[in-house]
Amino acid sequence: GYVNACGTTAAREAIAAYHSSPEHKISMENVIVANGCSGALELALTSLLDPGTILLVPQPGFPLYQVITESHGARVLPYRLLPDRQWEVDLGHLEQLMSQYPPALIRGVLINNPSNPTGGVFSKDHLSQIVQLCERYKLPIVADEVYGNLVFGDNAFHPMAQVAAENGRKTPVITASGLAKQFLLPGWRIGWITFHDK
């Protein structure tokens, strides 16, 4: 017969364990398995967007965010990344965009870390600043972390959900990830979203 539409119990338990830490645990009820990370992003954005709403996305960024957003009759507003600061988010520009529109119109902020196409990896402090900004404007974060632990040199990857938990669990985070990139299994097309809202 068919398995649960959200994925098998074993897969969801393994994904929940992978996205948990001693300070921040999630259960399999917070996991939906999808057709690759692109399918996971489709699920996440479909749950947030309505026609006429807005998603804040990085510029430069992965074009799929705009494709999915526009397929729902919504639109993207790009926020700048700063090349002279290792492609960190221009927090001033992001806040300017957040403050320009009524709160109900902006449905979330997409954060891609490590970044495609820049390769930038955000510090924990920078991620905390993003979380605090989203908390102030009561916006959820969609964290595209498909490149997860694929970092080099002195760079360290910090999951957005864990950073949000360390900042008091006041900012909901939907994490999209998968096997293709960080586990070097591109043909398997297994992705997932995890929900972190408590």
* Residue 54: predicted pLDDT: 98
- Looking at per-residue confidence, does 183 or 101 come out higher? 101
Can the peptide bond before residue 60 be classed as cis, meaning omega within 30 degrees of 0?
yes
Q: How confident is the model at residue 197 (pLDDT cuts 50, 70, 90)?
A: confident
* Residue 23: predicted pLDDT: 81
The tens digit of pLDDT for each residue in 1-23 reads 888 999 999 999 999 999 998 88
Q: How many CA atoms lie within 13 A of 170 on its CB side?
A: 12
Place of tokens 């820049």: 118
- 72 pLDDT above the threshold of 90: yes
* Residue 187: predicted pLDDT: 85
State whether the Cα torsion 89-90-91-93 is positive or negative.
negative
Query: Residue 24 and residue 26: Cα distance in Å, rounded?
Result: 7
The tens digit of pLDDT for each residue in 87-142 reads 999 999 999 999 999 989 999 999 999 999 999 999 999 999 999 999 999 999 99
Residues of the chain with pLDDT > 90, as a percent, come to 88
Based on the number of CB atoms within 10 Å of its own CB, is 32 exposed (0-12), middle (13-18) or buried (19 or more)? Answer: buried
The tens digit of pLDDT for each residue in 35-56 reads 999 999 999 999 999 999 999 9
- 165 pLDDT above the threshold of 80: yes
- The length of the chain, given as a count of residues: 198
Query: Residue 171 and residue 165: Cα distance in Å, rounded?
Result: 8
Other beta carbons within 10 angstroms of residue 91's beta carbon come to 16
